[in-house]
Amino acid sequence: MIVSLLLVLVASPAAAQWDLGLELATTRYGGTVHNTSDSGPPSVRPGDATTIGLRMDRTVGRTRIGLRASYGNPGLTFSGSELMITDKAAARLFEGSALASFQVVGIGGGGGSSGAIRAEVGPALHLWKSGDEVRKRLAALGAFAYEWPVVTRFSGAIRLEGTISKSWFNAGDLPPGYERRVTWRYGVGLGLRYRL
């Protein structure tokens, strides 16, 4: 498999580029569980978290296809009208995503020294680990990113990202009076990319 990957890299056309990237993001979650009764916390959701991600992209022209793996420790947040409690030990998140990215508009001069605004879409697989159990949720992901050159072969990026998936809870997890809702997330991140 490694030999095949090396052959693909060597045989890639000159117009294609491979990039390796590192991303750091702050995220906020919503939805997940809502209380329809008058007792207990009104909502339960993953907590706000910082995530770190590694990605590999291949760019041909203005199109980029990439794979990203990220990790965060959101835990669970129980929130009411005046009180919010987060248990950071309750849940960790591993995420894998496949992204298609398209340049929306170029900024600055031509050539390799200009910046660009890009749109990204793709599926994401959430592996939510709580105790010894790992739950899988398929999510839809969308993002906008502003990218600019830093120095030779390095570029920076600011990303605004959102995801939506089924509730992280199963029906049997909840007491009477609670209902599942979709789990959504938005985040802002910084990235550094190296062109191979």
User: Is 76 in contact with 46 (CB distance < 8 Å)?
Assistant: yes
113 vs 108: CA distance, rounded Å: 8
- pLDDT, residue 35, reads 82
- pLDDT, residue 114, reads 80
Question: Both tokens of residue 124?
Answer: 């994401």
Helix intervals (H) in the chain? 2-11
pLDDT in single tens digits along all 196 residues of the chain: 444 434 444 455 555 689 999 999 999 998 888 888 777 678 888 899 999 999 999 988 778 999 999 999 998 888 877 778 888 888 899 999 999 999 998 887 655 558 899 999 999 999 998 888 899 999 999 999 999 999 989 999 999 999 999 988 887 888 778 889 899 999 999 999 999 8
Helix intervals (H) in 74-189? none
- pLDDT, residue 1, reads 43
* Surface-to-core class of residue 173, CB atoms within 10 Å of its CB (0-12 exposed, 13-18 middle, 19+ buried): middle
User: Is 164 in contact with 138 (CB distance < 8 Å)?
Assistant: no
- pLDDT, residue 110, reads 57
What are 135-168's pLDDT values in tens digits? 999 999 999 999 999 998 999 999 999 999 998 8
- pLDDT, residue 17, reads 85
Which 3 state secondary structure label does DSSP give 172? helix
Q: Tell me the domains of the chain and their CATH numbers.
A: 15-195 (2.40.160.20)
- pLDDT, residue 37, reads 77
- pLDDT, residue 84, reads 82
63 vs 58: CA distance, rounded Å: 8
